[in-house]
Structure 1
C-alpha cells in the first residue's frame, strides 16, 4: 500500500511538473458577523437586528474561482445576484468590497501580488510582497472530496476596531486580539497556493477557517480542456498595501461621519444604537 501511494504521488508530481499544468478551483465563503441594533434599550433582540443580521449573512456568502498553474494564480469573485442592501430604512455599505470586480494575482515563486479593487467607484491596483506565513504543520488528516488533506495552523495578533453609533454619536473601541487560522491542504496537488491571500504550504489549500471567516473548495478541475486564463490586472491607481489600508480607514471615517450627520439632522429625539463586530 505504501509503495502504491508513493508511486501515485511521484506520478502526480510529474504531472504537476509539466510545463502546461493548470487547474481551476471553486471556493464558497461566508463570514459570521455580530451586529446589535436597537431603537429601545429594552429591545436588544428587535426585528431590525434580525433583518440586518440576515442581510449581512447573505452579503458575506460569495463564490470565487482560483485559476492556477505551478506558480501563478488569479482569484476572482463569480458573478451572482446581489442581495438587497437596505433593511428597514438602514442602508448597508461594504467599504472595500470591490463591487465583485476584484482580481487578486499572486506569484508564489517571486512572492509578489497584485490586487485590483475598487473604493467608491475608483479603481486601485495594490502591488506588494507576499508575506511568508509561519505555518505549523500537523499530521492530522481528513478527506475533502477525493483528496487527503493535512491540517496546518498559525496565530497572529492584530488590532481590531468596533464601532457603536447612538443617535449619531460614534464610539470607537480598539483592542488587540489573537487571530487563529486553520487550513487544510493537499500534497496531492503540490502547488503552494490557495484562496485569497492564503498560500505557503506544500499543497493546494482547500479549506480555511480564520476567526469568523470560512472558505471551502466545492469543485476542483486539474488540466481542464479549456485553458485557464491567468492575467495580471493592470488597471487602477498603483499603491502599496500600507497606503491602501490608510485610504480604507479614511473612507470608513467619512462614511461614519456622514451617518452621524444624517442621524442628527433627520432623527432628533430618536435614539438608535448600532454595533458591528466581525
Structure 2
C-alpha cells in the first residue's frame, strides 16, 4: 500500500510539473512615458518646440504584448501603422528606447536568471545580454482590482540613469553637465497570484504572480487584456540579431552617443537636426 501511495504521489508530481511547463499566456500592456523637456535656454521657435514635444509624447505611448510561460517570457512592441512610415518613435526618428525604456523584444529566462534585449540606437542594432536585475520587493497588504484579477501591491527602490535633456540641447562646448543623471526611484508594482508566473512587463519580474501594473518616476505600464492557455501554442524565442554587448557596454555606447549629439548641436543642431544619427 505504501509503495502504491508513493507511486501515485510521484505520478501526481510529474503531472503537476508537466502542467507547469505547459502553462502559457499572453498579456497586452499600455505603456506611457513622460520626459520633461529642457531646451537648455536655446532660442527655438515655439512651433518647433510644440512639434518636438508632441513627437516625444507620441513616442512615449506604446502598446506591448508579453508572451509567457513559467520559465520564459518575451515583451514585444505592437507596432502601429504610422510608426512604420517614419512617424514618432519609428525608424525615421529617434527611438524612445534609447531614452531609458526597455528596447525591443525583451526576453527573460527566470530559471537561468538572464535576459536578452534588442536595442536600436540611431539605426544600429545592439543585442544586450546580461543577468536579470534583482529588486528587493517589499510585499504590501493593499489590493485592488485590475480587470477580473485581484492584484497585490509591492514596492522596491531602484537606481536608474536618466538622460539629462538640458545637457543634450546645450550647444556650449564648455558645458560640463552630465548627459545622464543617476538617482534612486521607487517602483510600485501590482501583481496577481491568480496567474502563477514569476513574470512581468519589460525588465520586471520576481513576484509570486504576473505583474499587471508597474509605475516608476516617468513610466506607467498597465495590463489591458490577458489570454491564458490559448488553443494555439505560443512560441517564445530570444532575440538573436545585433551586436552582442553587456548592459554596461551598451550604457557606455549610449552615453558616448549623447556626448556626440551635444557636440554636434543636439536635436536640430548644426547637422540639420532631427536626431537621426548616422545610418
The normalised TM-score by structure 2 is 0.77
Partner of 1:274: none
Aligned pair partner of 2:30 in 28, 31, 38: 28
Is this contact kept in 1: 2:62–2:77, CA < 8 A?
yes
In 1, the alpha carbon distance for the partners of 2:170 and 2:20 equals 62
Specify whether residues 189 and 47 from structure 1 end up closer, same or farther in structure 2 by C-alpha distance, changes over 3 A only.
Answer: same
In 2, the alpha carbon distance for the partners of 1:27 and 1:209 equals 12
Partner of 2:207: 201
Partner of 2:231: 225
Deviation at residue 250 of structure 1 after TM alignment: 1.2
Partner of 1:118: 120
Could you say what secondary structure the match of 1:124 adopts?
Answer: strand
Partner of 1:93: 94
Deviation at residue 182 of structure 1 after TM alignment: 0.3
Partner of 2:75: 75
Aligned pair partner of 2:261 in 255, 259, 263: 255
Aligned pair partner of 1:211 in 217, 228, 237: 217
Deviation at residue 123 of structure 1 after TM alignment: 2.2
Unaligned runs of 5+ in 2: 1-15, 273-279
Deviation at residue 36 of structure 1 after TM alignment: 3.8
Could you say what secondary structure the match of 2:53 adopts?
Answer: helix
In 2, the alpha carbon distance for the partners of 1:48 and 1:181 equals 34
In 1, the alpha carbon distance for the partners of 2:113 and 2:148 equals 30
Could you say what secondary structure the match of 2:134 adopts?
Answer: coil
Could you say what secondary structure the match of 1:53 adopts?
Answer: helix
In 2, the alpha carbon distance for the partners of 1:261 and 1:217 equals 33
Deviation at residue 47 of structure 1 after TM alignment: 4.4
Is this contact kept in 2: 1:95–1:251, CA < 8 A?
no
Is this contact kept in 2: 1:33–1:53, CA < 8 A?
no
Unaligned runs of 5+ in 1: 1-13, 267-278
Is this contact kept in 2: 1:34–1:53, CA < 8 A?
no
| Larger strand proportion of the pair | 1
Is this contact kept in 2: 1:169–1:260, CA < 8 A?
no
In 2, the alpha carbon distance for the partners of 1:108 and 1:176 equals 27
Is this contact kept in 2: 1:67–1:228, CA < 8 A?
yes
In 1, the alpha carbon distance for the partners of 2:33 and 2:18 equals 33
Partner of 2:188: 182
Is this contact kept in 2: 1:73–1:230, CA < 8 A?
yes
Is this contact kept in 2: 1:23–1:67, CA < 8 A?
yes
Deviation at residue 20 of structure 1 after TM alignment: 1.3
Is this contact kept in 2: 1:95–1:252, CA < 8 A?
no
In 2, the alpha carbon distance for the partners of 1:180 and 1:260 equals 30
Deviation at residue 133 of structure 1 after TM alignment: 0.9
Is this contact kept in 2: 1:149–1:186, CA < 8 A?
yes
In 1, the alpha carbon distance for the partners of 2:123 and 2:165 equals 25
The normalised TM-score by structure 1 is 0.77
Could you say what secondary structure the match of 1:234 adopts?
Answer: coil
In 2, the alpha carbon distance for the partners of 1:179 and 1:233 equals 29
Specify whether residues 221 and 169 from structure 1 end up closer, same or farther in structure 2 by C-alpha distance, changes over 3 A only.
Answer: same
Aligned pair partner of 1:129 in 120, 128, 131: 131
Aligned pair partner of 2:251 in 227, 242, 245: 245
